[in-house]
Structure formats: structure tokens, C-alpha cells
Chain A
Amino acid sequence: MSIAASGASEGRSMKDKTTSLTDAVAVLADGMTIGIGGWGSRRKPMALVHAILETQVRDLTVVSFGGPDVGMLCAAGKVREVVFGFVSLDSIPYDPNFTRARQDGAITVRELDEGMVVAGLRAAAQRLPFLPIRAGLGSDVLTYYPGIRTVRSPYPDENGDDGEELVAMPALNLDVAFVHLNRADAHGNACYLGPDPYFDDLFCLAARVRVVSCEQIVSTAELAAAAPPQALLLNRMMVDAVVEAPGGAGFTSCVPDYGRDEAAQRAYAEAASA
């Protein structure tokens, strides 16, 4: 079943975009580029990641502020390339599965400055081919990204000299984005209740198909009452599918619903190191 078909409007009511984890990941095909929300080991859509592990899909390109999502997908042989600024479990510095995949040469990487990842997602969100950024200049991020170009400002600087030559960060266009929020309604509006939205809105804006899992699906009225309006990070035109997945970020943190399950994370890291 496709997400588009499941979201058809009926009569005069808004689309109901609720679906299951299994159906939500059925949109994936070999070779797709996916974006995964959250940051490190925080508010990662782990239920959706586990659902991806159950599929036959391969050769994914994964764009992520990486945590165990990246490690698990690498360990399961789902990944061709990781586009990343870092992969870390926060309280444990490195993800052993990602470490092994790199040291075995099992995956390729596009290593970027974190700000370049943001710029690439923002370019995709704005339907621009690139955005200029200073980050990356002088570093080996450019050395190991042969396709990347610089762009000279068409405007002279304050002294009348040629403008600066900056990195032209290409758009990171995503086929599918997966994010996990605290609350959502059936139409795709969603809010975060913790301290940081991370870049989940940008991942959705950069993607063709946008999948949101959440701790709880509530009515639109309950959603609006759950948090200040500023915390309504996603609106329904940014979302194609909504999955209720209580605990769906675990073992990563999803405050205030739950913190990181450090024991479970340690167990993951130890098993991955074995």
C-alpha cells in the first residue's frame, strides 16, 4: 500500500494520514536517499528504523545527525553511503556499528561540517541547487568531496575587491524523511515537547515523502493545547504519513516523555562491539 493512496481525502474532511510502521516504510526502494531526524542519541525515529531493518531494501544513502539509527542501518547492510557531520551516541562517544562499517570499508561516506548538512537540507527545502556557506573552506571536508564546488560572491566587498569565494553546498534532496515527535494529529500536524526541535522540520521540507512517528496521536485541539504554538514544529502540508509509536524513539531520548535508556544503549553498544 502506498502512502499517497492511504492519504486520499474522503468527502469534506481532511486527510487521515495514520498508518502502520510497516506500511510507512513500504515506500522505500533500493538506492533511495533518506533523511533521519533527531540528533545523536536524541529523539531518533527508532521504531521506524527497526521497521526499515525488517524490509529487503538496500543501498540506501542516509543523511543524519547520526546516532544509533546510522549504526543499526549500517550493521544490517542497508546502507551504501552515509552523509554526515558526526555519528555519536552522546553518552558513549562513538557508535561501534558505524565504526566497524567505516573501518571495514563496508560503506562510503560524504563527510560534512554539521552546518553544511543544515545548509544542504535548507537548499533542498527551498528548491535551490545550493546555498553558500563559509564552513568547509580550508578543511579536508572539501578534499574528500571531489564534486563540491565553490562560488564567488557576485558582489564586491567593502573595499571594492572581488567578493568572497565560499562553499556552494549542494541541496540534500531526500526521497523520504523519517522523524519522531512527541505528539501529532491524524492529519500530520505535530509538536515537540522537549527543549530542542533539532532539524526535523527541515528534514521534512527537504523530502518528497515525509513520515512522522509520534508518542501519541491526539485530536487537533488536544495537540494545540499540548504545547505553546511555537512548538507546533510540523504542519500537515509537510507530512504524508503519521504513525503512533509509543516509545518509538527508545532507547534514544524523547523528553519529557522519557529520557535516554542508558542501560539499553550500553547493551546495544556492547553487543555491537562484540
Chain B
Amino acid sequence: MSDFTRAEVCAVACADLFADDGEILASPMGTMPLIGARLARLTSNPDLLISDGEAYLLAETPPIGGTAPLEGWLPYGKVFDVVAAGTRHVVMGANQIDRFGNQNISCLGPHEKPTRQMFGARGAPGNSVNHRTSYWVAKHASRVFVASVDFASGVGYDRASGAAGRFHDVHRVVTNLAVLDFDTPDHAMRIASVHPGVTVEQVQEQTGFPLVVPDDVPTTREPSDEELKLLREVLDPKDIRGKEVPA
């Protein structure tokens, strides 16, 4: 199969987030990370633990919106224990994210009287200082990729000193245009790969701060035939992925 969509590239890039994680809990927030975690379990990482988004761990890998037999019980109280123990990889969204990976899902504008109230910090402060954390941004834009976040919910590299840095591991940011990481001397955000058909200039144009650009920027890998079959026939036959990232 040579035809694939941008959404399918994103799903595979999200799956690759979990490829080397081994036997830990995947906590994907949002549709594309959810598809990615399930695809990873069916391909690169069969040991990954996935949940139903409520209190159960799933023994099998259901399609999006589907159910599966249980293998365990993990209510919120136990999730916080897993966070503290560090055996978890969360993929969160971001209303704002800056060049060191500070993420904002709390509010825009002054904290005492925001111009826009969002969720609140949720578990982002604890997640980001306890275990591997990645981000998914469905629409890469300079209003999301900002020079400085209004509120640091998730902790970035420049704030992760002392005990905050002990288990801090902001891994990657996957967007509709590119994969970004922090593998630079000062952990400033770098273009790890651009999706097929996207240029480095396009990514930089949609980013509100200068990205680190390697001499040779790779192209995000194309989905394999097996992955395309799993996405289209097993995990997401209704093409929910295509609604999140239109062709």
C-alpha cells in the first residue's frame, strides 16, 4: 500500500511513542494518542497496559469505542499510585507548549482573572515530574507553540531542577505536521522529523519560537501495510482519525 493519509502518519507516530516502553501503563488523552497506544500494543509493544479510560485494564485491544475483556482494575486512586511509581507514559494535549516543553491546560491570561479558563492543571504537574510524558497537538499553530506559556501545568526542561528533575522525561511532541523532541544540549525543542509532504519551513512558520533544526531533517516514517490494515480494518474503521487530522 503506498497511499496513506496524514492522519495515519500521525497515528503511527503516536504508536511509536510507546514502542520502547515495555510493561507500563499507557495513558493516552485524546483520540489520536488512544489509537496510537492501541496500535503499539498490536505491533511494537504487546506488553503495554491499556485501560478503558475508566477503571479497567483491558486484556485485549478493542477498536475505538469498543470494549474488551478485563485483565485488571485500576480506579483513579490506583492511577495516582502508578504516577508516583513511574510505570506510566502519558500523552496529553496542550493548549500552549513552549520550547522547553512547558505545557498549559489551565488558563490563558492572568491567573486571578483569566481571559480563558480551561481544565485546570489536572495531573500534568505530577505526571511530568514522575514519568515519561509526551504531547499530541492536532493543529500545529503558533498560538499553541508559544515563546512562553501563560501557566506551566506540565513541567518543561528549564523548570525541572532538583527533585522535579529526578524522574522528569518529556519525550516527544507529535503534531499534524511533525514530530518534535528535546534531544539537544539545553533541551530546547527540535524537529525530529517532518511528516511526508511537509517542509521544515512550514513547521517553523507555525511555531512561535525558533526550533532547533538538524542539518538533515528526516521524514516521519510511513505506515507499514500491516499498520494500515490494523488502523483501517480493526482499530478505527469509522476513520475517526481522519476527523481529527483531515486529509
Contact = CB atoms under 8 A, between A and B. Distances in A.
Contacts of B77: 118, 197-199
B121 A165 contact: no
A85 interface: yes
Contact of A105 (B73, B113, B119, B162): B113
Contacts of A93: 118-119
| A interface residue count range (under 10 / 10 to 19 / 20 to 34 / 35 or more) | 35 or more
B126 A111 contact: no
A140 interface: yes
Given A134-B126, A139-B154, A94 B117 contact: yes
A84 B159 CA distance: 23
Given A139-B152, A140-B151, A196-B75, A114 B111 contact: no
A164 B83 contact: no
A240 to B, nearest CB: 23
| B interface residue count range (under 10 / 10 to 19 / 20 to 34 / 35 or more) | 35 or more
B153 A135 contact: no
Interface string B88-121: 0000000000000000001100011111111111
B75 A195 contact: yes
Interface of B: 54-56, 73, 75-77, 80, 83-84, 106-107, 111-126, 128-130, 151-155, 159-168
13 contacts: A86-B122, A102-B107, A103-B114, A103-B117, A114-B80, A118-B77, A134-B163, A137-B164, A139-B154, A141-B125, A164-B162, A164-B166, A197-B75
Interface of A: 39, 66, 84-88, 93-94, 98-99, 102-105, 108, 111-116, 118, 133-141, 143-144, 164-166, 195-199
